[in-house]
Amino acid sequence: METLDRVLVTLEGGIAGDYRGGMKGKPYRRQVTLIERGDWTAALAEIDADIPWQERRANLLIDGLDLPQTRGVRLRIGDDVVLEITRETDPCERMDTLAPGLERALLPDWRGGACAMVIQGGTIAVGDAIRIET
């Protein structure tokens, strides 16, 4: 995993450089994964661990917005990118290899994050506004 300050998001491939974004047919409903900073922090506090968020292997860390826990809700990031929430991102057993109990700590209330598909592509950058589309 690497962290980037700016990245291209496309309909065909999701986040540029992430091979999972273009997998499994059209449209792939797990092109982009998102996790809230507050949820990650809460899960780590629950198990008394300190692990960088990118170890979760989510594509985007969201801060300042409570991610909707509803399929079909659309998010706009920056001026151009629109994502549609498709489902919860289920934490896997790999989380317990990072810290015992982490998988379970990520289970409540979509703490493990949300999966989304790209509705409209563009470039996003750290600090871009993110909002729920109405």
CA 80/CA 26 separation, integer angstroms: 21
Length of the chain: 134
Nearest to 85 by CA among 64, 115, 65, 59: 115
Q: Is the pLDDT of residue 40 over 70?
A: yes
Q: Is the pLDDT of residue 68 over 90?
A: yes
3 state SS of 59: coil
Q: Which amino acid is at 107?
A: L
CATH number of 6-132: 2.40.33.20
- Say whether pTM exceeds 0.85: yes
- Residue 127 region, left (φ>0) first, then alpha (ψ -120 to 50), else beta? left
pLDDT at 97: 92
Q: Is the pLDDT of residue 23 over 80?
A: no
Summarised one tens digit per residue, pLDDT across range 90-109 is: 998 899 999 999 999 999 99
Which tops the pLDDT comparison, 2 or 31?
A: 31
Nearest to 14 by CA among 113, 101, 84, 68: 84
Structure tokens at 76: 């706009």
Q: Which amino acid is at 6?
A: R
CA 94/CA 100 separation, integer angstroms: 10
| Beta strand segments in the chain, E | 6-10, 14-15, 32-36, 60-62, 74-77, 81-88, 114-120, 122-125, 130-132
Q: Is the pLDDT of residue 2 over 90?
A: no
Percent of the chain with pLDDT over 90: 77
Across the chain, mean pLDDT equals: 91
Average pLDDT over residues 58-84: 95
